[in-house]
Amino acid sequence: MEARFTLGQCVATPGAIETMRGLGISPVTLLALHQAGDWGTVDDEDRQANEAALRDGTRFLSSYGEGDDRLWVITEADRSVTTILRPDEY
């Protein structure tokens, strides 16, 4: 997968770490999908916003999984930090 933008420092919240461990998901895999532009299960509006962010420098949001196992990956507009978190930790 080809990287479409930089991630900056990569961090994960305690809840996201717990969820990834429980599901056997590697954070590296989530970050690679996100950085390659596989936005996961975001709606059309967020998908369009992510594509626009490639041009205008706003934030990126990806969503993977569902229900209590859903994880978000958010890269800040300045590309300084990418965070993996559960939606309830936002």
Overall average pLDDT of the 78-82 stretch: 98
Boundaries of every domain in the chain = 9-89
Question: Residue 47: phi, psi to the nearest 5?
Answer: -60, -45
What is the per-residue pLDDT for 1?
80
Integer CA distances (angstroms), 24 to 28, 29, 69, 77, 88, in order = 12, 11, 11, 29, 20
> Is the pTM value of this prediction over 0.85?
yes
**How confident is the model over 1-59, as pLDDT tens digits?**
899 999 999 999 999 999 999 999 999 999 999 999 999 999 999 999 999 999 999 99
What is the per-residue pLDDT for 74?
98
What is the per-residue pLDDT for 64?
98
